[in-house]
Amino acid sequence: MPPGKVLQPVLKMKVDELFLCWLSESSTQAMLRDCLHRITAPGRPEMGAGDAGQPGPLVAAAAAAAAPARKPGGCDSLGAPGPAPASAALPLGAASSARTGPPVRGTRRSAGTRAVGTKKEEPLPPAASHSIPAFYFPRGRPQGAVSTDAVIARIEGTFAQFPHERATMEDMGRVAKACGCPLYWKAPLFCGAGGERTGSVSVHKFVAMWRKVLQNCHDDAARFVHLLMNPGCNYLVQEDFIPFLQDVVNTHPGLAFLKEASEFHSRYITTVIQRIFYTVNRSWSGRITCAELRRSTFLQNVALLEEEADINQLTEFFSYEHFYVIYCKFWELDTDHDLLIDPQDLARHNDHAISTKMIDRIFSGAVTRGRKVQKEGKISYADFVWFLISEEDKKTPTSIEYWFRCMDLDGDGALSMFELEYFYEEQCRRLDSMAIEALPFEDCLCQMLDLVKPQNEGKITLHDLKRCKLADVFYDTFFNIEKYLEHEQKEQASLLRETESEGPELSDWEKYAAEEYDILVAEEAAGEPWEDGYEAELSPVDQKLNALRSPLAQRPFFEAPSALGPVDLYEYDSGGDDLHPS
Ligand SMILES: [Ca+2]
Ligand SMILES: [Ca+2]
């Protein structure tokens, strides 16, 4: 017998029992009698009414609260697994998901229990239950009275200054400001009004579009998604970000030096899109929903683009230096420069630090998108972005998930002793070949269990690894020989101290990127890796460009940038096979 079916009636009986128990208390009866008097006596009818029907309204209100929640849930139907209700609304959010029976009941019961306690003095809970406020807003929480008319008037005033009251992309900065949006919303606003197709937007079309957005989308996350999404979707896929990022490349002062080098635009855009999905798309669905966007810091970063002229300060997504490091690292491995790398290429990363077993797992499809590339045994530049960030910072949630997917050979959501031994065996062999005595697996296992302290012995879950704060040490022990030896040299205690004192310091990734960038620039200054027409007196900006120009000059082919904004379209084509709803 399914346990749910047994459980639910029993819970209901318990609720009834508690209710009867409460009802039979003499204090309750006295209070009810008192309330009845108040109903019959004129003056305070609302209180009495609420009280007399106490259990009724409670249930009704809960049902009413659940009902509207179901509808927007349907909007999200295309079904990114999981992340529907915002975590901020957790206690009530749990009750909203109509399918999970127990939490709903749990909430109701605890409300009733609380009523028993407070009932005696003051009949408060029924009044509160009358107005359980709406708590699920997939398109943002409606703000009080926003004066749409004033905003529209401001927009119309701005358009009046343009020839024929039509705005081109160049005018959109002023339109964005009239809308009250951060400057770099200009391209999304332009796209949202169909400007991409026609080259300019009429005042009527824009106002109609923005009015609709203001009416339906109540916060920045919902608006941003609405402006860039494909009609009928409620999420953003990778290519939806292209117009926005192409505009950043075209107009951000921190990227001005990249202006003529249009061949690098697509590389930069590809990189930033991957970083956005890496950090924001916590569900790994390939679709960023409003809820995911809202939980992330992406829109704050978009707003910062306006204030920060040095794009390298925006290390989370937009940093040019970070892009530069990732691209150069890829370039070193992709010897034939077809923008694909095979397992042998990837194995050369960091001087063969990563085990072959792990390299094979990366190519197994556990952490990559796109069947086509996978079938040919190669991964793309976009996949490499995920790899490098995960490899160099094993403490972030996405990174911990990335390596967990790789190590969980059977995909059962736990790392078994067998799976750990499978990876450790190669580490031992490699240590042997370096004439270093490896710890027997049993001893290593003890150390690791001590480090991770899994909740259930005999297997390690994702949750265990996220909680333990030393996922990097754990992972490196099993597949990165170089970093494993590094960790070994440090005391575990000092590792912990390091972790604890971390705070808002640089992340492992930021440290890595900064160090590597300096090395690359120094190498470039010394004329080491690519020396064609290099001159020693170049500004750092020119150095950067030169460094990029030289590898690209050797490329056998290059896609011409399309009007939309050039990104490695084949990546999205192959990714699209997986992503399009069937
Ligand atoms: Ca290649
Ligand atoms: Ca497993």
Q: Is residue 503 very low, low, confident or very high in pLDDT (cuts 50, 70, 90)?
A: low
Question: Of 412, 410, 384, 402, whose CA–CA distance to 471 is shortest?
Answer: 402
pLDDT of residue 544: 56
> Does 373 score more than 80 pLDDT?
no
In a domain, 254, yes or no: no
User: β-strand 235-236 against 379-380: which pairing, if any?
Assistant: unpaired
Q: How many whole angstroms separate alpha carbon 406 and alpha carbon 576? A: 23
Closest ligand (CA of 366): 2
Q: How many whole angstroms separate alpha carbon 348 and alpha carbon 376? A: 19
In a domain, 263, yes or no: no
DSSP state for residue 438 in the 8-state scheme: P
Classify residue 128 by burial, with Cβ atoms within 10 Å: 0-12, 13-18, 19+. Answer: middle
Q: How many whole angstroms separate alpha carbon 397 and alpha carbon 235? A: 21
pLDDT of residue 376: 82
- Summarised one tens digit per residue, pLDDT across range 253-284 is 999 999 888 889 999 999 999 999 999 999 99
Concatenate the DSSP letters of all residues of 314-332 into one string. Answer: -TTTT-HHHHHHHHHHHHH
Geometric angle at alpha carbon 577, from 331 and 569, rounded to 5°: 40
Ligand 2 centroid to Cα of residue 474, in Å, is 16
For the ranges 83-97, 351-365, 524-538, 542-556, which has the lowest average pLDDT? 83-97
- Summarised one tens digit per residue, pLDDT across range 42-52 is 654 444 333 43
Tell me which H or E stretch contains 236.
strand 235-236
DSSP state for residue 241 in the 8-state scheme: G
Query: Dihedral (C-alpha) 518, 519, 522, 524: value to the nearest 10 degrees?
Result: -110
pLDDT of residue 134: 74
Q: How many whole angstroms separate alpha carbon 566 and alpha carbon 394? A: 31
Closest ligand (CA of 417): 2
Q: How many domains does the structure of the chain reveal?
A: 1
Q: How many whole angstroms separate alpha carbon 87 and alpha carbon 270? A: 30
For the ranges 57-61, 286-290, 350-354, 487-491, which has the lowest average pLDDT? 57-61
Q: How many whole angstroms separate alpha carbon 420 and alpha carbon 479? A: 10
> Does 115 score more than 70 pLDDT?
no
> How many other CB atoms sit within 10 Å of the CB of residue 377?
11
Q: Is residue 60 very low, low, confident or very high in pLDDT (cuts 50, 70, 90)?
A: very low
pLDDT of residue 259: 87
Ligand 1 centroid to Cα of residue 378, in Å, is 8
User: β-strand 288-289 against 235-236: which pairing, if any?
Assistant: antiparallel
The residue with greater pLDDT, 173 or 88, is 173
In a domain, 203, yes or no: no
In a domain, 403, yes or no: yes
> Does 476 score more than 60 pLDDT?
yes
List the structure tokens of 270.
Answer: 């590809």
The residue with greater pLDDT, 104 or 332, is 332
Ligand 2 centroid to Cα of residue 408, in Å, is 4
For the ranges 54-68, 136-150, 341-355, 469-483, which has the lowest average pLDDT? 54-68
> Does 307 score more than 60 pLDDT?
yes
Ligand 2 centroid to Cα of residue 484, in Å, is 22
In a domain, 32, yes or no: no
Mean of per-residue pLDDT scores for the chain: 78
What percentage of the chain exceeds 90 in pLDDT?
57
Q: Distance between terminal CA atoms of the chain?
A: 35
Closest ligand (CA of 556): 1
pLDDT of residue 527: 74
In a domain, 46, yes or no: no
Closest ligand (CA of 379): 1
List the structure tokens of 460.
Answer: 């390690």
Ligand 2 centroid to Cα of residue 423, in Å, is 12
Question: Of 231, 130, 243, 154, whose CA–CA distance to 196 is shortest?
Answer: 243
- Summarised one tens digit per residue, pLDDT across range 504-530 is 689 999 999 999 999 999 988 887 555
In a domain, 256, yes or no: no
Q: Is residue 33 very low, low, confident or very high in pLDDT (cuts 50, 70, 90)?
A: confident
Which of 32-41, 134-143, 493-502, 561-570 has the highest average model confidence (pLDDT)? Answer: 32-41
Closest ligand (CA of 458): 2
> Does 155 score more than 70 pLDDT?
yes
Ligand 2 centroid to Cα of residue 31, in Å, is 59
Tell me the residue length of the chain.
Answer: 582
Ligand 1 centroid to Cα of residue 563, in Å, is 27
> How many other CB atoms sit within 10 Å of the CB of residue 504?
5
Q: What are phi and psi of 463, to 5 degrees?
A: -60, -45
Question: For 23-38, what is the mean pLDDT?
Answer: 84
- For CA atoms 397, 403, 409, 414, the dihedral sign is negative
DSSP state for residue 495 in the 8-state scheme: H
Ligand 1 centroid to Cα of residue 555, in Å, is 11
Ligand 2 centroid to Cα of residue 294, in Å, is 32
- Whether the Cβ atoms of residue 530 and residue 547 lie closer than 8 Å to each other: yes
Ligand 2 centroid to Cα of residue 459, in Å, is 8
Ligand 1 centroid to Cα of residue 34, in Å, is 83
Report the interhelical angle of 320-333 vs 262-280 (nearest 10°): 100
- For CA atoms 398, 403, 408, 411, the dihedral sign is positive
Ligand 1 centroid to Cα of residue 52, in Å, is 76
The residue with greater pLDDT, 243 or 123, is 243
Can you give the residue range of the structural domain that contains 329?
Answer: 323-494
In a domain, 363, yes or no: yes
Question: Of 291, 336, 258, 284, whose CA–CA distance to 141 is shortest?
Answer: 291
- Summarised one tens digit per residue, pLDDT across range 217-236 is 999 999 999 999 999 999 99
pLDDT of residue 31: 86
List the structure tokens of 307.
Answer: 């204030």
Q: How many whole angstroms separate alpha carbon 305 and alpha carbon 82? A: 31
Question: For 479-491, what is the mean pLDDT?
Answer: 90
Ligand 1 centroid to Cα of residue 460, in Å, is 36
Closest ligand (CA of 414): 2
Closest ligand (CA of 345): 1
CATH of the domain at 408: 1.10.238.10
Task: For tokens 């970083």, name the residue.
Answer: 275
Ligand 2 centroid to Cα of residue 457, in Å, is 14
DSSP state for residue 354 in the 8-state scheme: B
Closest ligand (CA of 376): 1
3-state secondary structure of 341: strand
